[in-house]
Structures are given as C-alpha cells and as structure tokens.
Copies of this chain bind each other. A is one copy, B any other.
C-alpha cells in the first residue's frame, strides 16, 4: 500500500466519502489511488475556488467534511477565498495539498512556493506529512481536527514521495472533540438577565440556527419579551413554515443599530457581539448600543443548543415557541424588480429546498418573501469573500442528491467561480441557478456613497459597472453544458423557475432584475 492509498482508505474509514479535486502532476499518485478505494468519490472542479467552495457547501449539508485535492501553493491560493468563507462558517474541510517530493524542494523548481504560509493563514490545522508511514495517521488527525468543535479547515500537505512511497499504514478514525458544555452558573446568570425587566436582545448564531436552537430561542423570547435575532451571515439557517421566524441582524450597520436600539443587555449565543462588516469614517465599529452590557451564554464552539434549551427550561418552562404559519406571496407580474423576483421564489419554493444565497443587494427583500414557504435551509456568505454561491450550491447538491438546490446569485459574484456550472452539468446535479443580473457591482455603488468618498466621477463609476459589455449568462451556462433561459418579467421567471425545478439536472435563469438602489 502506498501513501496515497493509505490516505484515501483512512479518509473513507473516517467518513470522508467525497474528494473535490483539481489535481496536477504532484497529485497523480493520489489520483491513481482513487481506483483502489471504491468508496471515495472524486468530483472534478475546473478551478480550485470551485473545489473549496463545494467542500464548504457539502459539509454544511452533510454535517461531515469532504476532502479537497489541490495542486501546490498556487492551487491552494486559488482556493483560499472560499476556504476563508469556510473558516468563518466553522465548516469542517480536509484539504490535501500536494507538494514536491521532499528531496526536490531544495531545488526551487518553478512551482515551489510557501504552501505552509498560505495554509497557516487559515488559522485552522496544518500538518506536513513527510513520511509515507505517517500519512494515514496524519489523515485521521486531519479529519478529527476539522471536526473538533466548532469546526475548521484542516490542511494536510502531502509531498509527492510520501504519496508514492510504499509502506503506507491506514489509521482508525479519531473521535473529534465535541462542544464544551455551558456551565449551570452561566445558564442561571443569563436567565436572571432575561428576567431583569430591562430591555434584552438575544443574538444567536452557529448551530443555534438549526431547529432546536430556534425553538428554544423563540420560547425564551415569547416568555421574557427579549428581542431574538440571528447573526447576519449564518452558516446554515433552517427556515419556513412550522419554524420560528426570527429576524437576522442587518448587514448595514445603520440597520443593525436600529434593530438593537434601546437594548440594555445583549446576550450572545453561538456567535460574538456584532461588529460592522467594514469601517466607515465617523461611524462605530462595534454595533452594541452604547451603555449596553454584553453577556455570553455560549461562545463559538460551546454547546449552544443545549445551553439555549437549559435557559428555556428556566425562563419558559410552559411556553410554546411561536411557529411561522404557512403562507406564500401571490405570483407577481411585470418587469423584474428587487421586490417581485423574491415573490416568485417565495411563491414557488419547493419542499426541502436548500438555498445558496449570494444575491447580495438584489436579495435584501428575500427573507420576507420566503418566511412562510415550505421548510428549507439557507446557506449564506459567512466570510464575505464573493464567488461562494455557485460552488457551495454544487457541494450541497452532492451532499443531498434528493433535495432541490437553489442558487440565488448576483452577477458580479458569479464571475469569480462560474465554472462550477460545468461540474453541475458533469455530475447532473439538481441545482437551479437564478442570476440576479443588474449589470453592476450594485453593492459597491452603495458603499461608494456610504464610505463618504469625496468623488463619484466617471472613472470611479466605471469600475463599478458591469454593463459594458452586458454579460449573457445563459450563453455562458450553455457553453458549460447547463441548459439556460433568460427572464425579463416576473411571469417569465415563474415559468422558467417552475420548469427548471420540474426537470432533473442543473438549470440557469439569467434574470434581468432592476437594481434596488
């Protein structure tokens, strides 16, 4: 057994069944070894940002890591942006980054670069597996490290000779560290804050955005009058009819500060006290109202769901959660706007959908239109590195082949990782992509104003414009084997969206939506 074979066998034994891959020469023994371990599925991405984003999307839905296979420093570099999002999502990901053979590194061959520095920037787990006999044990450690609460990116650097050498040894799975429990004193103190009679907000995040956490949070809010809020960009948010509909903290700091106005106590659970996404001249970085006290119920990596249930047991013993009733918007008509396209989605969202949401400014009105739709999961842009939606949708569809995946995708962000469409076609994934094509980096037009930039002259405007030339996403999709249509009215979008959902395999709709702003 060579090192590559021991690696793949160990990954499979630890439950890692999919390897999103973009290999090169130094990874050829890993590629060859795939045929010796039938349980491992190799999925090819045409660019590493697709590979790493797909691994993120997969793990958010499968609740276990996928592996990636990346080619040296440049391959890891191409994958960094979506690994940044995975890091912020606390998604478990196991990167296997091939490197030159150990004895070859000294020669500074053209592809030599500082892989360790790039991997280290992700602040997760990094190990270089220099001896064939250690590869299996290192792989088992990587899988465990990726899943140690709250989850992280684990990167195993695999020199080519460690991969091709004989003497590989598989390693049994290592149990990951489960979340630390929140102690009873903290629970009791938080219960007292909630009963203080002062204005309290409860901001939840991480695993608390799943059903159990939402139900406990809703009960607490109903019993105490606390204002419940969900972090701005949750990794995986369960929504829809039958679940509590808790509003998310706004992306714009003005909006978040409005939501928190008058709050005297901010309880955070599974997330941190909110800060502004960017700094703006003369505006505060911290969004906690002045004079308000922050209380931590559960830090990131602690067992937030149990902690919320424990608090609910004290303050809301006999109180039921408030569940969203089933309701859908009426199907709208007319030229597509920021308002009516979300109504189309709300009206037609299928059962058990997974939404990969990178609609950005075009999607500001989405939550309202889908609150009463059938139950669904929403995956969001946790780290702010754009180009996440198409790859994450791809990985989610691999993880849940029986669920419809809907990628709501702004035009500018789509172009970072557009080749994910090819992987969707190759794997015949049930992904419906709706491109919100407003021909602009609309969010930056807004931000140019918000930062108080001194000028918005023609050269500045030009750098935020995507209309010259207009992009035809339907043609691009067809070029990659994905059937595609174009919609300019709500009626067309509804008809095309329904048809895409009814047919198996990927589809893309290029929707000409007027800018919101």
**Residues of A that sit less than 8 Å from B by CB:** 2, 21, 23-26, 28-29, 31-36, 42, 44, 46-47, 49, 73-75, 77-78, 80-81, 84, 88, 100-101, 103-104, 107-111, 113-114, 117-118, 120-121, 123, 160-161, 164, 233, 272, 275-279, 281, 285-286, 382-387, 412, 415-416, 418-419, 422, 425-426, 443-444, 447-448, 450-460, 462-466, 468-476, 478-481
Q: Which residue of B has the minimal Cβ distance to A120? A: B117
Contact B475 A31 (CB under 8 A): no
13 intermolecular pairs with C-beta atoms under 8 Å apart: A24-B447, A25-B277, A32-B455, A34-B463, A35-B457, A80-B80, A101-B285, A108-B272, A111-B385, A114-B123, A117-B120, A471-B480, A479-B479
Contact B480 A478 (CB under 8 A): no
Measured between beta carbons, the chain B residues less than 8 angstroms from A471 are 422, 479-481
Contact B121 A47 (CB under 8 A): no
Measured between beta carbons, the chain B residues less than 8 angstroms from A80 are 73-74, 77-78, 80, 118
When chains A and B are docked, how far (Å) is the Cα of A286 from the Cα of B108? 11
Measured between beta carbons, the chain B residues less than 8 angstroms from A387 are 47, 78
Measured between beta carbons, the chain B residues less than 8 angstroms from A478 are 472, 475
When chains A and B are docked, how far (Å) is the Cα of A384 from the Cα of B77? 13
Contact A111 B277 (CB under 8 A): yes
Measured between beta carbons, the chain B residues less than 8 angstroms from A161 are 279, 281
Measured between beta carbons, the chain B residues less than 8 angstroms from A42 are 459, 462-463
> When A73-B121, A279-B100 are in contact, do A32 and B479 touch as well, CB less than 8 Å?
no
Measured between beta carbons, the chain B residues less than 8 angstroms from A451 are 25, 28-29, 160, 164
Known pairs A78-B416, A109-B277 / 15 extra A-B pairs, C-beta < 8 Å: A26-B279, A28-B448, A31-B453, A34-B457, A74-B386, A77-B77, A80-B118, A107-B285, A117-B118, A415-B419, A418-B419, A426-B469, A469-B480, A472-B478, A475-B476
Contact B32 A104 (CB under 8 A): no
> When A114-B121, A447-B25 are in contact, do A78 and B49 touch as well, CB less than 8 Å?
yes
Measured between beta carbons, the chain B residues less than 8 angstroms from A418 are 418-419
Measured between beta carbons, the chain B residues less than 8 angstroms from A462 are 42, 44
**Nearest CB of B to A505, in Å:** 11
Measured between beta carbons, the chain B residues less than 8 angstroms from A479 are 471-476, 479
Contact A455 B422 (CB under 8 A): no
Measured between beta carbons, the chain B residues less than 8 angstroms from A473 are 479
**Nearest CB of B to A496, in Å:** 18
When chains A and B are docked, how far (Å) is the Cα of A296 from the Cα of B438? 58
The residue that A444 contacts in the complex, of B28, B78, B88, B109, with Cβ under 8 A, is: B28
Measured between beta carbons, the chain B residues less than 8 angstroms from A454 are 2, 29, 32-33, 36
Measured between beta carbons, the chain B residues less than 8 angstroms from A100 are 278-279
The residue that A88 contacts in the complex, of B110, B164, B383, B443, with Cβ under 8 A, is: B110
Measured between beta carbons, the chain B residues less than 8 angstroms from A113 are 84, 121
Question: Which of A108, A113, A450, A457 has the largest number of chain B CB atoms within 10 A?
Answer: A113
Task: List the 9 shortest-distance A-B pairs measured between CB atoms, nearest first.
Answer: A35-B457, A469-B481, A77-B80, A32-B453, A475-B479, A74-B385, A101-B279, A476-B479, A104-B279
> When A109-B275, A444-B25 are in contact, do A35 and B468 touch as well, CB less than 8 Å?
no
**Nearest CB of B to A34, in Å:** 4
The residue that A425 contacts in the complex, of B425, B463, B469, with Cβ under 8 A, is: B469
Q: Which residue of B has the minimal Cβ distance to A251? A: B110
When chains A and B are docked, how far (Å) is the Cα of A276 from the Cα of B24? 15
The residue that A24 contacts in the complex, of B118, B121, B444, with Cβ under 8 A, is: B444
When chains A and B are docked, how far (Å) is the Cα of A281 from the Cα of B163? 11
When chains A and B are docked, how far (Å) is the Cα of A279 from the Cα of B25? 9
Contact B23 A444 (CB under 8 A): yes
**Nearest CB of B to A328, in Å:** 32
Contact A422 B469 (CB under 8 A): yes
Q: Which residue of B has the minimal Cβ distance to A19? A: B463
When chains A and B are docked, how far (Å) is the Cα of A81 from the Cα of B418? 18
When chains A and B are docked, how far (Å) is the Cα of A280 from the Cα of B42? 24
Q: Which residue of B has the minimal Cβ distance to A443? A: B25
When chains A and B are docked, how far (Å) is the Cα of A100 from the Cα of B285? 11
When chains A and B are docked, how far (Å) is the Cα of A383 from the Cα of B103? 20
**Nearest CB of B to A384, in Å:** 4
**Nearest CB of B to A208, in Å:** 18
Measured between beta carbons, the chain B residues less than 8 angstroms from A457 are 32, 34-36
**Nearest CB of B to A160, in Å:** 6
Measured between beta carbons, the chain B residues less than 8 angstroms from A120 are 114, 117
Contact A278 B44 (CB under 8 A): no
Contact A459 B285 (CB under 8 A): no
Contact B426 A468 (CB under 8 A): yes
Measured between beta carbons, the chain B residues less than 8 angstroms from A276 are 104, 107, 109
Measured between beta carbons, the chain B residues less than 8 angstroms from A463 are 21, 23, 31, 34, 42, 44
